[in-house]
Chains A and B, each alone.
Chain A
Amino acid sequence: AQSVTQLGSHVSVSEGALVLLRCNYSSSVPPYLFWYVQYPNQGLQLLLKYTSAATLVKGINDFEAEFKKSETSFHLTKPSAHMSDAAEYFCAVWTSGTYKYIFGTGTRLKVLA
């Protein structure tokens, strides 16, 4: 069975500082991994995805994530936080075994001026 753990339900960073949101997964088969962002009262927007190609994945708005199989991690980073990055971020795992997403519990990012 798959599972996703997002460490830190709330993360605060100063504007211009590095953003690091943590995601660890568990899967018995090779996973596909996704990061989504959700703004209040909106659906989810895809930031980036890992689908077994390059382990360092670049997404929209300067976000990137690195798939580390040995650490079963897929942490999301951004070099410099912007006020508009304040939102809820979800990590999700998908496998061909179940054909459905398992979402993490989410991390709320707050950007301080």
Chain B
Amino acid sequence: GAVVSQHPSWVICKSGTSVKIECRSLDFQATTMFWYRQFPKQSLMLMATSNEGSKATYEQGVEKDKFLINHASLTLSTLTVTSAHPEDSSFYICSASAAGGTLGEQYFGPGTRLTVT
């Protein structure tokens, strides 16, 4: 149980275009979803937290107009990287916490590798 999927797993886009990444909780309702960014050989940095039906809360230094997060249902959150540039190339990982689950525990998706050329 507690499976989180991400789509696509790998995407290449041209500079200036937008890319949407989906994060789905497959077998539970996710009250809160989190988006992380991970550069090579580095730790995960939280970008934003989103609750279903509410605006996302962005971490300091994360451009909310560039990284659009939508959490329209209890099983789906999307991250759209707008006007992508090569410096946005990274590994993006989402996670979700379950309604009624262990406090603090998050379930992680497999990640999406974004390469901007």
A-B complex is real: yes
B35 to chain A, nearest CB (A): 11
Q: Are B104 and A43 in contact (CB under 8 A)?
A: no
Q: How far is the CA of A41 from the CA of B52 in the complex (A)?
A: 28
Task: Give the contacting residue for B108; candidates A32, A43, A99, A104; CB below 8 A.
Answer: A43
Q: Is A103 an interface residue (CB 8 A)?
A: yes
The reply to whether A43 and B103 form a contact with Cβ atoms under 8 Å apart is no
Interface string of B39-80 (1 = CB under 8 A from A): 000111010010000000000000000000000000000000
Tell me what chain B mostly uses at the interface: helix, strand, loop, or mixed: strand
Given contacts A44-B93, A104-B43, 12 further A-B contacts (CB under 8 A): A34-B104, A41-B91, A43-B4, A46-B107, A49-B104, A51-B102, A51-B103, A101-B46, A101-B104, A103-B44, A105-B42, A105-B43
Give the CA-CA distance A2 to B33 in the complex, in Å: 21
What count of chain A residues pass the 8 Å CB interface test?
22
Find chain A residues with CB under 8 A from B111 CB. 41-43
Q: List 11 A-B contacts (CB under 8 A).
A: A34-B104, A36-B108, A41-B91, A49-B102, A90-B43, A100-B34, A101-B44, A101-B104, A103-B43, A103-B44, A105-B43
- Sorted nearest first, the 3 A-B pairs with minimum C-beta distance are A94-B104, A43-B108, A44-B108
Of A42, A45, A49, A100, which contacts B49 at CB under 8 A?
A: A100
Alpha-carbon distance A60/B101, docked complex (angstroms) = 19
- Chain A residues whose CB sits within 8 angstroms of the CB of B105 once the complex forms: 34, 46, 49
Residue A96 is within 8 A (CB to CB) of chain B in the complex: yes
Q: Could you tell me the distance in whole angstroms from the C-beta of A37 to the nearest C-beta in chain B?
A: 11
Q: Which residues of B contact A96 (CB under 8 A)?
A: 103-104
Contact A101 B106 (CB under 8 A): yes
